[in-house]
Amino acid sequence: MLKRHARAACTALAAAGLLLAATGAVATAAPADSADTARPQKSASATLRTTEAPPELLTAMQRDLGLTPTQAKARLAHEAEAGATAARLQARLGAAFAGAWLDGADAGTLTVATTRAADTASIRATGARAKLVSRSLADLDTAKAALDRAATAGTPVRYVDPRGNTLVVEETRPGAAAGLLAATGTDPALVTVVRTDEAPRPLYELRGGDAYYMNGSGRCSVGFPITKGTVNGFATAGHCGRAGTTTSGFNQVAQGSFQASVFPGNDMAWVAANANWTSTPYVKGSGGTNVQVTGSVLQPVGASVCRSGSTTGWHCGTIQQHNTSVTYPEGTISGVTRTTVCAEPGDSGGSYISGSQAQGVTSGGSGNCSSGGTTFFQPLNPILSSYGLTLKVTGTDPGPGPGNPDPGGTWKAGSVYAAGATVTYGGASYRCIQGHQAQTGWEPPVVPALWQRL
């Protein structure tokens, strides 16, 4: 009998057509060339299918973010549109870009920072707020990279805070941050030091959307179901197992084995399942309900995000920073995303989802779900790209029917594209503005939220 090895976590919703012009988060897409008008273009909220949010996702957002039902629905639509606007502005501003973030209970306000005064008018023209700052995101990222190379457990977390236009270093003992700055020659004026009594640790004792067990002992969580060719499997955290580690499912039935794993450095792995297990396009939601996954578009700072874990179930919060570095006792991992979502041991490897868009897998954190905490997730797109995996999604557009000519070009469904990547499609060139795994129905001419025609 076939069994499913992953269910639901937090999925999409929000009211399509909720305009953010009044609150500043939405901008219309750039006018399409005549060559693109032959195919209807999708808004960002339509591309990310924010109107299809299940009740359990809305309920968790209301509980954990203090929202009304209307605010929860509006927030997902606002986040989708603002994410596309911020991505287009980042491409346009180039080296002057200094970050973007969302504010407001319904994420109705998008702010974009720049180091160039001449950019402020064009930012405001999109409906976003403009903030003029002294340091670019690239400059702060460069300074953070130097700190990452020398960090110890005394300075376990480093990240760029775009709101403050500063580099934040958390220290577990007085003087640890000052020592790190001195050792790397970093200008203290760039850095805000935050004292913390809790050091992050990988969240072992382990589960996720659904639980799985490693070598018959430790427990972790399924992140997102995937396929690789004809093989079913799932993405999860690297600290849960090494290549060759065997797994059994939530029901203790033999499941599969780890095919590849990286930890520290990153926190990524994938498990190939045996023929008794079938990948589904779901995350495990409240009460075991299935929540749909429709894509993997990474959402901006300030966006809502929900997590499914086998220990603590459904919890929601917001994205605080991308490209965070964390030093665990086992070593440093870079490129993770910092969130306000709580988690506890046993939640490792599990699913983070924003609307219906897969975000990443639980790496570690501090605190708990009684008093609150901070957690970090390994973004999913690098896992898909590194291992050649295809995210299992639902509701894919069937695309051109039989007899329609192949438009030609380098764009390919199933490929993972990072922001800034360029492709050709139908004789035109496009630049990716939001990282994602391509799928049928998301061809560049019809999804201006993801692709910009050059």
Known catalytic residues? 239, 267, 348
Alpha-carbon torsion 22, 111, 85, 11, what sign?
negative
323: its two tokens: 């490209």
405: its two tokens: 């000519």
User: How many angstroms separate the CA atoms of 143 and 322, rounded?
Assistant: 15
Distance linking the first and last C-alpha atoms of the chain: 51
How many CB atoms within 10 Å of residue 38?
A: 10
360: its two tokens: 């990443």
User: How many angstroms separate the CA atoms of 118 and 74, rounded?
Assistant: 32
SS percent in the chain: helix, strand, coil, step 5 = 20, 35, 45
DSSP-based three-state secondary structure for 426: coil
**Nearest partner of 319 among 266, 379, 369, judged by Cα:** 379
**Residue type, position 297, single letter:** V
User: How many angstroms separate the CA atoms of 267 and 269, rounded?
Assistant: 7
User: How many angstroms separate the CA atoms of 245 and 256, rounded?
Assistant: 9
Q: Is the distance from CB of 342 to CB of 373 less than 8 angstroms?
A: yes
Contacts of residue 403, defined as CB under 8 A and 6 or more positions apart, other chains included, come to none
How many CB atoms within 10 Å of residue 368?
A: 15
Find the helix or strand (DSSP H, E) in which 125 lies: helix 120-125
User: How many angstroms separate the CA atoms of 97 and 91, rounded?
Assistant: 8
**Residue type, position 184, single letter:** T
